[in-house]
Amino acid sequence: EFLYCDLTSMKSIRQFVQQFRAKNCPLHVLVNNAGVMLVPERKTEDGFEEHFGLNYLGHFLLTNLLLDKLKQSGTHSHNARIITVSSATHYVGKLHLNDLQSRCSYSPHGAYAQSKLALVLFTYRLQHLLTANGSHVTANVVDPGVVNTELYKHVFWVVKVVKWMTAWLFFKTPEEGASTTIYAAVSPKVEGAGGCYLYNEERTKSADVAYDEELQRRLWTESCKMVGISDEASRLP
């Protein structure tokens, strides 16, 4: 069943959540998978830089608005699960807390990498808060690998040619790219396990900076301000 949600629009996200709530359904799995890559400098309707607004803030708001549903749906033996799709690009990402919108010096590569690092930081902070609240919900982050999709439509034409020539050898199919996300969503092997970075269905170490708890807290607080929700986490360690 399809419900429309535009992750570049805070209004659309709120409308989607309202429509979903009206169905009075449980919510056992939330997969945050949407994204853009290397788009030219432009803003969402709320004025956010598009990589940061769509890839990160849209998922941040959506997840927070659905958290109570996830908490209601999870049980001790079957946790509800949040899976957020990041990228190996986060390893080279830098989080500029004083310039999250990349206004000072816009780089498509830098903005994309920052948004993917933000997703990892968000997942780790979210799991910390879920654990502190005793919630039966887990949050994990997935690296799907290099997948042959339309995500690459904004790369240079030379890269497109190389991709076209080598995709069969180096790129995963969309089905292969989705495998770790599906693993994180349904596998009994990760039941009750949260705060993990998963690649090829294995727990892997993410970038060192992603484990910086102070940076996680500061990003969370700033994100709450940007999307207009209360930072209830500020009362927790």
Task: Give me the mean pLDDT over the 117-140 stretch.
Answer: 97
Is 58 inside any structural domain?
Answer: yes
Q: Band of the pLDDT at 152, cuts 50, 70, 90?
A: very low
Q: Does residue 14 lie in a domain region? A: yes
Cα(171)–Cα(189) distance, rounded to whole angstroms?
A: 26
Sequence-separated (6 or more) residues with CB below 8 Å from residue 208: none
Predicted confidence (pLDDT) at residue 180 exceeds the cutoff of 60: yes
pLDDT in tens, 20-52: 999 999 999 999 998 888 788 999 999 999 999
Amino acid, res. 68:
D
- pLDDT, residue 34, reads 86
In a domain, 202, yes or no: yes
Q: Is 4 part of any domain?
A: no
DSSP output for 15-57: HHHHHHHHTT----EEEE-----SPPS-B-TTS-BHIIIIIII
Which whole number is the average pLDDT over 73-91? 95
> Sorting pLDDT into bands at 50, 70 and 90, what band is 170?
low
Task: Find the mean pLDDT for residues 164-179.
Answer: 58
CATH at 76 = 3.40.50.720
Tokens 């495998």 locate to 179
Q: Which residue has the higher pLDDT, 174 or 94?
A: 94
Q: What's residue 115's pLDDT? A: 96
Sign of the torsion angle spanned by Cα atoms 170, 174, 179, 180? positive
CA-wise closest residue to 93 among 80, 108, 81 = 108
pLDDT at 145: 64
In a domain, 36, yes or no: yes
User: Is residue 2 included in any domain, yes or no?
Assistant: no
- Given 112, 124, 183, 197, which residue is catalytic? 112
Domain count across the chain:
1
- Assign 89 to helix, strand or coil: helix
pLDDT score of 151: 47
Question: What per-residue confidence (pLDDT) applies to 174?
Answer: 62
- Domain span at residue 62? 10-234
Q: Is residue 45 part of a domain?
A: yes
pTM: 0.87
Let me know if 112 is a catalytic residue.
Answer: yes
**Residue 5 counted as domain residue:** no
Q: What value does the mean pLDDT take over residues 7-30?
A: 97
Supply the pLDDT for residue 66. 97
